[in-house]
Each structure stands twice: as structure tokens, then as C-alpha cells.
Homo-oligomer: A and B are copies of this chain.
């Protein structure tokens, strides 16, 4: 924490700040400048709340210096985390591909897509049984029935199942039928859900919230890890901006930014960022080129009749073509 005093701050005001610092058990470092004095604080075990100082007389600003997270940092674990799901992995040498329909609609649909996903060499199958929908009048997913279909896909095709839990009860169900618990953008700060996922034995794929800063996203991962589950995969899926040509603005700078701070793997969800079929492949390629450990992508055997997010689903043919490009780019970036 650095306290910046106003330019005309009185000696007693400075002394009063120093006193508060010392009452908190920290050390203060007074630095008189040409126009203003700054006071550095050290000795604090965790982050100091700037609010303790901002309203003191003579204080212009309190600037946070320490970062509030610990477990996600390279300081704590310099080697990159590789999340293993059976013999498949995310964060290792191979590009992780997590493909499937937006929502599980029927056994026939799931199996048709899964056959292509398997043939493409991808190891993970995604598909929603519980869908968070903005409107209460939209298709909410098949529920546990959908999870059972996913479990069948796992048996039949040997694919690992990534599927979303919307609440604490949902985590119980995903533990029963799936392999990776997905936490969606809308739930990134649903702390009850994060804590429950942190007590699971399954890895957690944590999507970035629509308006989440990097720090908030990493702190959400910290919530999961602070309960003991270190198998966290971060997923960038675009943030909300003024731009209307795309559903969300994919923030690929998040990939190198996370790498610089954290040992956790990062994947990108090209489909939700794009919102439009023709943008998915360009954005997925961009994500891999930026250094992501994997991609989530929506494919559908018959996009026109999809019950959810039809506009952004790839056909099976488009998906296979894209995948060969992604693998070639991966070779360039991480040979």
C-alpha cells in the first residue's frame, strides 16, 4: 500500500497516517517529495484495505500494491499446472480440444456430434444439460436426463465430459455423470458454487465473467483452490463491450497476462465470444496463436435446428477443417 498525501498536507496529517499504519502493526516509510509526500507501508501479511486511509485528513489517494491472491501465482508454484482427466490432459504439450453442442437435445444428436468429435482426435466432449438462459421462457436444457446421455457418450466414445453446474445441487450431479465441472461466466462470482466446486475431486473449468477484471477472475480461481481443489482451468470467453458486431469481445491479451502471473492453464471459448458461425474459426485460430492451452467450440450435426445458440455452431465439416488449422498453428507456437 502506498499512501499519497495532498500537496498541502500538514505535518500532523502525515503523522496521523503513520500512527494508523503502526496501530495496524505495519511499518511506514515516509518519502517527502517536491510537491507531495508519499508513505509506503510494509510488513502487512495480506492486502491492506485502501479504505482504511482514503478518508483520513490530508490523504489524496491510497494505492494498492500487493496482489490479493496467493495460490494461483507462479510465486507459489513456478511450474505450469497440467490438469489430467484419465489419460487426457489440459495444459500439457498437446492442444486440448473441447467440442460438442451448446445443449444436449437428444441421444441421437449427442451421438452424431460425438462421433465426429472422436474421429477428429479431440479428447473432450462438451454439452449443456443445465443451460443458464437470460429469459425464463427459453429452453433450459434436459437436466439430469441430459447428464445421462453425456455419461453414455463417455462410455461409447471414450470422450471426457465437460458440463456446466449452475448451483450446488448441480455439482453433485456433474460429479455423478461427468469429468470436468464447468462454471459459467454468469456464475464466476457465485461464491457458494465456487466453494462447493473447490471441495470436489473433479477439475473445474472456470469461465471469466462478462465484466470481470483479470484480478477478479484469478480470485475466483483462488476461491476454488482455497477449498483444496487445485485442478482449475481458466477459460476466456469474451467480455462485454460497446462493440456490436460480435456477441462478446474476445480478450486474447488475457492469455499472456495470465501466463505471466499464474501456473494455471488457460483455454478459450471461441463460440461464445463470436456469437456468429463465420467468426468462430478465425477466433479459435487466434486463441491458439496467442498461446492458449486449448479451445472450446460448439459443433452441431444440424445447426439450423439447434435449440440453443444455433447461430454460432459449426457444422461437422467446418469443425474438422478448423481443427487441422489449429493444430498447424499450435506447431508454430509451441513446437
Contacts and interface: CB of A to CB of B under 8 A. Distances in A.
Contacts of A77: none
Nearest to A211: B211
Nearest to A242: B240
Interface in A157-192: 166-169, 186-187, 189-192
Contact of A75 (B8, B186, B215, B329): B8
Contact of A242 (B52, B211, B223, B309): B211
A282 B256 contact: yes
A136 B216 CA distance: 11
B245 A249 contact: no
A50 interface: yes
A251 B243 contact: yes
Contact of A253 (B61, B69, B249, B254): B249
B38 A43 contact: no
Interface in A233-270: 239-246, 249-257, 260
Given A242-B241, A249-B253, A254-B245, A306 B135 contact: no
A250 B257 CA distance: 13
Interface stretch (A113-121, A143-151, A199-207, A273-281): A273-281
A219 B134 contact: yes
Nearest to A45: B34
A136 B219 contact: yes
Interface stretch (A84-92, A93-101, A104-112, A284-292): A284-292
Interface string A56-71: 1000010101101100
Interface string A115-134: 00000000000000000111
A125 B315 CA distance: 42
A333 interface: yes
30 contacts: A2-B65, A35-B75, A40-B40, A51-B311, A51-B312, A55-B303, A55-B310, A56-B304, A68-B135, A134-B215, A134-B216, A136-B219, A136-B222, A167-B168, A211-B239, A239-B242, A240-B242, A241-B249, A250-B252, A252-B252, A252-B282, A282-B290, A282-B291, A283-B290, A285-B290, A285-B332, A286-B286, A286-B287, A329-B332, A332-B332
Which 7 pairs, one residue from A and one from B, show the smallest C-beta to C-beta distance? A211-B211, A51-B311, A51-B310, A289-B289, A246-B253, A286-B286, A285-B289
Given A51-B311, A253-B283, 13 more contacts: A4-B65, A6-B75, A34-B44, A40-B40, A134-B189, A134-B216, A210-B211, A213-B242, A214-B243, A245-B257, A253-B274, A325-B332, A329-B329
